[in-house]
A and B are shown apart, each in its own frame.
Chain A
Amino acid sequence: MVFKEPIILKGGDSNITIKFGDDGSLYLNLYILTFEKITKSRKPQWLVDTTALRTTIMLTFDPLLIQIDGVIAAVEEIIADGISVPNEYPSRIVHLPVFYNDPLTRECAKCFNMPPNLEVMAKENNTSVDEIIRRHEAPEYFVSYTSFMFGSVGAFPIGKYKNIKNSKYKTPRTWTPPGTVGIGGSTTAIYSMKSPGGVMMLGNIPIKTYDIDAKNKHFENGNLLVHPGDRIKFHCIDANQYERLKNQRDSYAYEIESSHIEWKSYGNM
């Protein structure tokens, strides 16, 4: 659902964050991506960057060219002109193998004095580790944003699924293994490189989500595997498959389907 009136948060002298809703739904995401497209197409001189996320978009501006009230006025004008979300939105399906509850992930949790995170999540959801894995693997995920780090992904389940809710780390980790899949709130995150992080870790992906040198031919036309608007399907693999795929990183043939998504068929707006 999209708020009747968006909430505009002042984030300092050079940015604003616009909150368009709070349910993080597919429609809200497509609405934000559409707003981003319209804003960029107007090419305001002061616009430095846009950061679209699940419920918000941050606009970074040049504070020597414009002050915050001017940006707010410009945003209100764009919204007043109307944001119309097309029902058919191009959306590829990218298949990704995951080794859930793998030793690397468990080892990392241990380094930060945490039990295996899947155990924490099972407890917070009153269920078992196996059930959390089943719930996570089952649905299709919509890629909401890729802005945490180069090659990272923030995605959420769409269609019918059983929810997983959990806390994040109280003190964020100073590092997270590359390829980690984790959950913070209801967002599934993929960590592409060794980086700080606060979400609970589920498992590890053995293949690349980015490749700047295009060692894997797949990346010859772009260094990133997924983009906002794509969908992801996770597939549970075991230790043997994980090792095999890890060794094939530079030759792995990605499984990607061209497709589109119709938000109206996902119900609520």
Chain B
Amino acid sequence: MEICKILDPGMLCTIQDLGRKGFYTIGIPTSGVFDQISFKYGNAILKNNANDAGIEVLWGGLRLVFMEDTVIAITGADMHPKVDDAAVPMWRPIQVKKGQILTLKGPPEIGVRAYLSIAGGIDVPEFYGSRSTYLLLGRGGYEGRKLEKGDILSSFEAGNRAGLEDVNQYVIPTFSYPWRIRILLGLQKDLFDAQTLQNFGEKKWTVTDKANRVGLRLSGQEVKYHIRDGVIDSGIGGIDPSNIPTEGNPLGSIQCPSETELIVIGPDGPCEGGYAKIGTIITADFHLLGQVKPGDDIFFRPIRYSEAYRALHDQKEELSYI
């Protein structure tokens, strides 16, 4: 069913779901929504399936017209949504009529990505088991690309799933700035000197203008490695102290290729890499990374594994209250 037509795609809008899993060996990253939590709330509010595809809206500027009556939800960063000329709330089911125009003007005060979920989910073909757009390869989502003016999106039948009952106010996630993101130190942490490890969790990092779905480069502190003798690891990795033999890149892992810059791996990031990693953002906080923008400050807090798992289970439980 043709559900809406894009009048203006704004800065960057892509179709995403929860991503594809199991294809790292052939170089296909997970892709999928960057802020999974906001996205999951959107589908939960509409009583969609958790993996139904929606639109990830970066920064704002999206305008679209509905071609049928439907129910939508907008979650994530507050883009000041309007239906025709009337402001509509975030994190709520919204009934829209054929011919009405939705505007997500943005930009948000905090955060950078919003999610537009539509009852039934967006109908685009699957690529390797997911409807997510993977821009580098030009596959998935809407013809493998970002949305453009004039694109017509279809949705699946919502059946009786879409509900207009109100959502429990208390469980709606809020964002607070500066960003505080929990990490687990690990992987090559022993290659870094003690001062670097200590500063890492105490001082702020600033997001540079190189920040997108592939990864984010952060600056602001000095990263020092232990001096290692000559060529490390039989030269398989390379001769700089930051070089390691190529390893898998976990989602949210933090690489340190130079003394002044970090790279955090995003959903479209390479599946492997050869730079030492100091640690990884916990799964329960990874969605926050999808809301940071150039110029934002981030404080990383190293925690224990048990805390990371507890946070993840708590988060799952909260989502179930919707």
| Chain A interface residues toward B at CB < 8 A | 9-15, 17, 22-24, 48-58, 60, 63-64, 67-68, 124, 145-152, 154, 156, 163, 165-172, 174, 184-187, 192-196, 198-199, 212, 224, 228
Q: Is the CB of B282 within 8 A of A198?
A: no
Q: Is B48 an interface residue (CB 8 A)?
A: no
Give every chain B residue within 8 A of A58 (Cβ-Cβ).
24, 247-248, 250
Q: Are B245 and A54 in contact (CB under 8 A)?
A: yes
Pull 18 A–B residue pairs with CB atoms less than 8 Å apart, ordered by A. Answer: A10-B184, A11-B186, A11-B187, A12-B186, A48-B21, A53-B272, A54-B236, A147-B272, A148-B27, A148-B273, A149-B137, A156-B236, A167-B243, A170-B240, A184-B237, A185-B236, A185-B274, A224-B26
Alpha-carbon separation in the docked complex, A13 to B253 (Å):
11
* One of A15, A24, A52, A228 near B245 (C-beta < 8 A): A24
Residue pair A193, B238 in contact (C-beta under 8 Å): no
Question: Which of chain B's residues 298-320 have a Cβ closer than 8 Å to chain A?
Answer: 305, 308-309, 312-313, 316
Which of B93-101, B145-153, B168-176, B227-235 contacts its partner?
A: B227-235
Asked if B24 and A51 make an inter-chain contact with CB atoms under 8 angstroms apart, the answer reads yes
Tell whether, in the assembled complex, residue B235 and residue A14 are in contact, meaning their CB atoms are under 8 Å apart.
no
CB of B51 within 8 A of chain A? no
Q: Could you tell me if B25 and A10 are in contact, using CB atoms closer than 8 angstroms?
A: no
Cβ distance B44 to chain A, nearest Cβ, rounded Å: 16
Q: Which residues B10-42 have CB closer than 8 A to chain A?
A: 21-28
Contact B257 A196 (CB under 8 A): no
Give the number of residues in B that approach A within 8 Å (Cβ atoms). 58
A174-B210 Cα distance, complex, nearest whole Å:
9
B239: chain A residues within 8 A (beta carbon): 124, 165-167, 185
B237 touches A185 (CB 8 A): yes
**Within the assembled complex, what's the spacing in Å between the Cα atoms of A152 and B137?**
12
User: A185 to B233, alpha carbons, bound, how many Å?
Assistant: 10
Shortest C-beta distance, B37 to chain A (Å), equals 14
Within 8 Å of chain A (Cβ to Cβ): is B270? yes
8 Å CB interface, B243-265 against A: 243, 245-248, 250-253, 257-258, 261, 263
A64–B313 contact, CB under 8 A? yes
Closest Cβ neighbor of B307 among chain A residues: A13
Within 8 A of A (CB), among B186-245: 186-188, 210, 214-215, 231, 233-240, 243, 245
A212 to B26 Cα, complex, angstroms: 13
Name the B residues within 8 Å of A149 (CB-CB).
27, 136-137, 270-271
Which of A48, A53, A67, A156 contacts B22, CB < 8 Å?
Answer: A48
Instruction: Tell me if B283 counts as interface (CB < 8 A to partner A).
Output: yes
Contact: B312 with A55, CB < 8 Å? no
Report if A55-B236 is in contact (Cβ < 8 Å); known contacts: A13-B184, A147-B248, A228-B25.
yes
A63 CA / B184 CA spacing, docked (Å) = 14
13 new A-B contacts at CB < 8 Å, known A51-B24, A196-B215:
A9-B187, A12-B184, A12-B282, A15-B250, A17-B247, A58-B247, A60-B248, A147-B271, A170-B240, A170-B257, A171-B261, A184-B246, A185-B238
Let me know if B27 and A198 touch, CB within 8 A: no
B115 at the interface (CB under 8 A from A): no
With A9-B186, A12-B184, A55-B236 known to touch, is A49 a contact of B21 (CB < 8 Å)?
yes
Other-chain residue from B25, B136, B187, B235 in contact with A51 (beta carbon distance below 8 A): B25
